[in-house]
Chains A and B, each alone.
Chain A
Amino acid sequence: MQGEVGRGAERTADAAALQGSGILREIKAARIEFVVSVPDIVTSEGLLRPLARDNSPRLIRVCKEDEGVAICAGLAYCGKRSLLLIQHTGLLDSINAIRGVAVEYSLPICMMVGLLQKEPGVPPPQSKQYGVRIVEPILDAMGVAHHRIETDIDIGRIRPAIDDAYEQSQPVVLTIGRRPS
């Protein structure tokens, strides 16, 4: 489910940066009202900390990632857009919640997932990290759409992916492949 834009971006990834301010701008443009999060070291400084300083979207801190899947589900039924900001370890821990709530109940659970210890510029399937390598195949097996956010070129994919998730009422995962500045 990886799109062509993402593949093109990989070729220039080493030479490019990823700006947290750009990601935050797109999250706001996608009309996200709540960000639900367990801290992720990839996005900690460049995204979560600026989010925490901002009043909008409202940040909801949770103890565990599967809680966040359910909170986002409740918000979706109320017509409120939310984003679950987590690390890929938390995504793996939440597979059953994503399976049962997001996939089988067809809910627009939007997840932004930091790929812990992924090497910048290296596509996730080629990472030396086993945990990183298995993320996309697992999402493919589950039928969950996913998009790579590796450089600023990819930031433009965030809003359409979220809009599409809500229009189709389906989950989506946006993987963050390097630490945003």
Chain B
Amino acid sequence: MMRRDEALKVLARHVGEDIVVPVYTTAFDWVAIHPHPLNYLCVGAMGLAPSHALGLALGRPDKRVLVLDGDGSLLMNLGCLVTVADVAPRNLVHFVFENGTYEANGAHPIPGRDRIDFAGFARAAGYRSCHVFDDLPAFETGIAAVMGADGPVFIDLKIEPGPPPVYDYKLMHSEKLRADFKAALNG
């Protein structure tokens, strides 16, 4: 297991001008670690981040799109794995930060916690490659190779439940943030 903020700091070293679509709790940690206009926070709710990411990947095949999903979020939209695999965008990398909880809603356990295999779901759906990292040194060593492969790539990171961040929903839903993203993407 690893801490989310430590995993995100490792990831940040490998993100250049990629589009990053972070979800909920991960989003608040991510924007603190890697503030960038190509962070796409406007995913709404109910597990739709990978679907937003698919639209971005289709619309901008010249750019890599990273989605930083949550395990609870992915459970709300498991069908997206099949859709993403069917479209098979080479420029999409799908991370899941698996901490076994609906962290943004009181840290209650997800159904099937400790039994379900997210990478197995993605593999069965047809992602080109699927990986699981459960400690930080292995993630640091392997991240460049797995992110560099043709997508769709699925990466399950085993994350320790941690203290909740400050949930700045005003930032997440900010009109300025959306305008900045659009300008950076199309500028």
Give A residues with C-beta under 8 Å from B. 34, 60-64, 66-80, 82, 96-97, 100-101, 104-105
Among B59, B86, B178, contact of A75 (Cβ-Cβ < 8 Å): B59
Using Cβ atoms and an 8 Å threshold, which residues of chain A touch B53?
74
Measured CB to CB, the nearest residue on chain B to A36 is B55
Q: How large is the interface on B (under 10, 10 to 19, 20 to 34, 35 or more residues)?
A: 20 to 34
Q: A66 and B185: CB pair below 8 A?
A: no
Query: Does B44 sit within 8 A of A, measured CB to CB?
Result: yes
**Can you list 18 pairs linking A and B with CB atoms under 8 Å apart?**
A62-B51, A63-B82, A66-B51, A66-B77, A67-B77, A69-B51, A72-B55, A74-B58, A74-B59, A76-B55, A77-B182, A78-B185, A79-B59, A96-B46, A97-B48, A101-B43, A101-B44, A101-B48
A64-B77, A104-B173 known; A74 vs B45 contact (CB < 8 Å)? no
Give chain A nearest CB distance to B42 CB in angstroms.
Answer: 5
Which B residues between 21 and 71 are near A, CB-CB below 8 angstroms? 40, 42-46, 48-49, 51-60
A100-B45, A101-B48 known; A63 vs B80 contact (CB < 8 Å)? yes
A63-B83, A77-B40 known; A71 vs B54 contact (CB < 8 Å)? yes
Using Cβ atoms and an 8 Å threshold, which residues of chain A touch B186?
78-79
Q: B46 and A77: CB pair below 8 A?
A: no
Using Cβ atoms and an 8 Å threshold, which residues of chain A touch B83?
60-63, 67
Q: A71 and B46: CB pair below 8 A?
A: no
- How distant is the Cα of A104 from the Cα of B43 in the complex, in angstroms? 11
Using Cβ atoms and an 8 Å threshold, which residues of chain B touch A64?
77, 79
Which label, helix, strand, loop or mixed, suits the secondary structure of the B interface? helix
Using Cβ atoms and an 8 Å threshold, which residues of chain A touch B44?
70, 96-97, 100-101, 105
Beyond the given pairs A62-B79, A69-B51, A75-B56, 11 more chain A to chain B contacts, judged by CB atoms under 8 angstroms and listed by A's residue number, are: A68-B51, A71-B51, A73-B55, A74-B57, A75-B55, A79-B186, A96-B45, A97-B46, A101-B42, A101-B44, A105-B44
Interface 1/0s, chain B 72-96, versus A by CB < 8 A? 0000010110110011000000000
- How distant is the Cα of A7 from the Cα of B82 in the complex, in angstroms? 41
Query: Does B181 sit within 8 A of A, measured CB to CB?
Result: yes
Among B42, B48, B60, B80, contact of A69 (Cβ-Cβ < 8 Å): B48
Among B40, B48, B57, B173, contact of A66 (Cβ-Cβ < 8 Å): B48
Give chain A nearest CB distance to B40 CB in angstroms.
Answer: 7
- How distant is the Cα of A44 from the Cα of B40 in the complex, in angstroms? 34
Give chain A nearest CB distance to B185 CB in angstroms.
Answer: 6
Which B residues between 120 and 178 are near A, CB-CB below 8 angstroms? 173, 178
Q: B52 and A63: CB pair below 8 A?
A: no
Using Cβ atoms and an 8 Å threshold, which residues of chain A touch B86?
61
In this complex, the member of A64, A67, A70, A72 whose beta carbon has the largest number of chain B beta carbons within 10 angstroms is A70
Q: B185 and A77: CB pair below 8 A?
A: yes
